[in-house]
Structure 1
Amino acid sequence: MRAARRARIVGDTDLRRGRCLEIGPLANPVVDPDVADVRYVDVVDRAGLLAHYEGNPAVDPDAIPEQHFWLTRPDGTVSTLAEAVAADAPYQHVVASHVIEHVPDMVGWLRDVAQVLTWDGALVLAVPDRRFCFDVHRTPATVGQVLQAHLDGDRTPSVRAVLDHFMSAVDYSAEQAWAGEQPPTQGSHPIDDVRRHLARQQAGDYVDCHVWPLTPRGFADLMDDLLALGEVDFAVERLTATRVGEQEFYATLRRLDRSREPSVAIDDARVALAQLRSDLPDESPPARSGDGELVPGHLVADLERQLAETRERLTRVRAARDRARRQRDRARAEVATARAAGAAARLRRRVTRGLGRRPRPTP
């Protein structure tokens, strides 16, 4: 299962080519040192991670690797990603699984990633789909919120982010979502817990939370807006739908080609992104089946996507079959022509030999 998920995250990216940085691997790194030349970075060092997740049954402390770099300075302030890894950069690949939704300043973070990548480097993302996790009641992140956080220079999650997260989170799994179960209305954090986290945020602590609730189409829209505004240095090279039964989607972002006119590179990136978005299933609310039962909209959309993929595969198979038939017919025609030419040549040789053996007439 872990190997299959890692393959889905990475896609066609060859992590063995060049050096790699993984952000926030926690206890489940996507990139193992035996697979690629990888460095790890997190908000705090390994000791800080062990202390933060002590007693959490979902995190195996023995599986947390040593962090090569961390963002929190000795004085408690938080550096940027680019500042933390500057001495070791650049990298060919940056991998971030369930990270981008946590970063306080998405625009600043994407610029940091671009800064530590090679000129043609790639950012590989695994992102939780808000529809299939505790974010289900939250509205998707907007470009206005993203730019406000950047203009405010957020180094830690803002009051807005902390409150939206802890006030709205519910106990809701992907299995429940795909089964069509309604999410609970009761939040998973008591109000006293919310107040405690808010007080920590106001005191300057780094209160980890989901800052940016996202879906595949929402992410595409957000990246398109940021490209149009000239705020990001990435083209979206790959963007997947959330698989049935799962709760995350995957994206690969490639640095824009700096040898091209920026406006042209951005326009091309937006055209390619529009195509990726059009290939994604609809994310509309649930529809009703003919007998009046609710059919989850994401399930209908996924079935429609699978049908479209099947039709596309059938079209490719038919095209390949037709090409094979044409090649076969050409080969048969060439063989027939060759045989006819051979037969004619043999006939000519026999005639020639026959003429050579004819007796000469006597004088």
Structure 2
Amino acid sequence: MLEIGPFTNPTIVGENVKYFDLFDSTALARRASALGYVQSLTPDIHFVSSEGDLSVVTEKFSCAFSSHCIEHQPDLIRHFRQVETLLKRSGKYYLVVPDKRYCFDCVFDETRVEEIEQAHKERRRRHTLKSIIEHRAFVSHNDSIRHWAGDHGVVHDESARRRLIGVAEKEFALADGAYIDVHAWRFTPYSFLHILESLFDLNYITMKPIRVYNTRLGQLEFCAILKKQDE
């Protein structure tokens, strides 16, 4: 198995697991420390690309896994296609995906297929200014229990929001094309299933959803399984 984006807390461990991330192990540990994250196990990262480019992976796997990864991909179709090339015949891609209804993305609309198509046609490698502003200035809280109870909250008042928009614009300009890590896409289990089926039917991808689970009560994420369809 290949786990994509384990950071310092991989979900899958064992002698038959390899890891891909944006940074090597040392840089991940340093980043986690700066963010105040608990480090349970910083794995040896076998494949590294600061661009998130899976073409650096030189092996094939029976399955791949990622958790809270695909919503960060500037070009989601490209990501799926790269995963396909890493999978052996009838390989599976296991996913854990945030449900936008129960996390800080609750205030935004669900992603539409045509938005994902547009990003792919643009060969997008970086997030748009719109995505940076939304992520910095407009997100809600991330307490799933409160969201399930209907309390979606207001994190920033108008004054703070205007200031954060300015901060986001400055961050985008200073990055000068470098990758900024924010959410680009927002899903529910049903919308995610619809998008996957649409991308498959439109021949953008050769992986087909074989199971998309409902989000469990009180949780903010759901799981899905895609299977490579061999000719």
Pairwise same-fold verdict (TM > 0.5): yes
Secondary structure class of the residue paired with 2:11: coil
* AA aligned opposite 2:3: E
TM normalised by structure 2 equals 0.90
The yes-or-no answer on 1:187 pairing with 2:156 is: yes
Contact kept in structure 1, 2:22 and 2:52, CA below 8 Å? no
Aligned counterparts of 2:135 and 2:225: Cα–Cα separation in 1: 26
Distance 1:191 1:69, change over 3 A: farther
* AA aligned opposite 1:60: V
* AA aligned opposite 1:114: E
The yes-or-no answer on 1:114 pairing with 2:100 is: no
Q: Which has the higher helix share?
A: 1
Contact kept in structure 2, 1:171 and 1:187, CA below 8 Å? no
Contact kept in structure 1, 2:94 and 2:226, CA below 8 Å? yes
Contact kept in structure 1, 2:9 and 2:40, CA below 8 Å? no
Distance 1:217 1:187, change over 3 A: farther
Instruction: Please state how far the C-alpha of 1:226 moved relative to its aligned partner.
Output: 1.1
Distance 1:50 1:196, change over 3 A: farther
Match of 2:201 in 1: 228
Contact kept in structure 1, 2:99 and 2:186, CA below 8 Å? yes
The yes-or-no answer on 1:84 pairing with 2:61 is: no
Secondary structure class of the residue paired with 1:54: helix
Aligned counterparts of 1:93 and 1:139: Cα–Cα separation in 2: 31
Q: Which runs of 5+ in 2 are unaligned?
A: none
Match of 2:25 in 1: 46
Instruction: Please state how far the C-alpha of 1:37 moved relative to its aligned partner.
Output: 0.4
Secondary structure class of the residue paired with 1:44: coil
Secondary structure class of the residue paired with 1:163: helix
Aligned counterparts of 2:180 and 2:111: Cα–Cα separation in 1: 19
* AA aligned opposite 2:67: S
Contact kept in structure 1, 2:9 and 2:39, CA below 8 Å? no
Distance 1:225 1:51, change over 3 A: same
Aligned counterparts of 2:32 and 2:11: Cα–Cα separation in 1: 19
Instruction: Pick from 139, 150, 154 the counterpart of residue 120 of structure 2.
Output: 150
Instruction: Please state how far the C-alpha of 1:62 moved relative to its aligned partner.
Output: 5.4
> Aligned ranges for residues 203-242 of structure 1 at < 5 Å?
203-242=176-215
Contact kept in structure 1, 2:90 and 2:228, CA below 8 Å? yes
The yes-or-no answer on 1:63 pairing with 2:41 is: yes
Instruction: Please state how far the C-alpha of 1:79 moved relative to its aligned partner.
Output: 5.6
Aligned counterparts of 1:219 and 1:47: Cα–Cα separation in 2: 34
Aligned counterparts of 2:18 and 2:151: Cα–Cα separation in 1: 41
Contact kept in structure 2, 1:71 and 1:79, CA below 8 Å? yes
Secondary structure class of the residue paired with 1:138: coil
Distance 1:149 1:247, change over 3 A: same
Deviation readout 1:102-160 (Å, 9 max, x if unpaired): 11110000000001111211000000101111001011111111011111111222223
The yes-or-no answer on 1:127 pairing with 2:108 is: no
Q: Which runs of 5+ in 1 are unaligned?
A: 1-19, 73-77, 259-363
Aligned counterparts of 2:166 and 2:33: Cα–Cα separation in 1: 22
Match of 2:172 in 1: 201
> Aligned ranges for residues 342-353 of structure 1 at < 5 Å?
none
The yes-or-no answer on 1:140 pairing with 2:133 is: no
- Looking at both structures, which has the greater relative contact order when contacts are Cα pairs under 8 Å and sequence separation is at least 6? 2
User: Equivalent pairs: percent with the same residue?
Assistant: 27
Contact kept in structure 2, 1:99 and 1:127, CA below 8 Å? yes
The yes-or-no answer on 1:26 pairing with 2:7 is: yes
Instruction: Please state how far the C-alpha of 1:54 moved relative to its aligned partner.
Output: 3.0
Instruction: Please state how far the C-alpha of 1:246 moved relative to its aligned partner.
Output: 1.0
Aligned counterparts of 1:132 and 1:206: Cα–Cα separation in 2: 26
TM normalised by structure 1 equals 0.59
Secondary structure class of the residue paired with 2:72: coil
Secondary structure class of the residue paired with 2:35: coil
Secondary structure class of the residue paired with 1:170: coil
Instruction: Please state how far the C-alpha of 1:48 moved relative to its aligned partner.
Output: 2.6
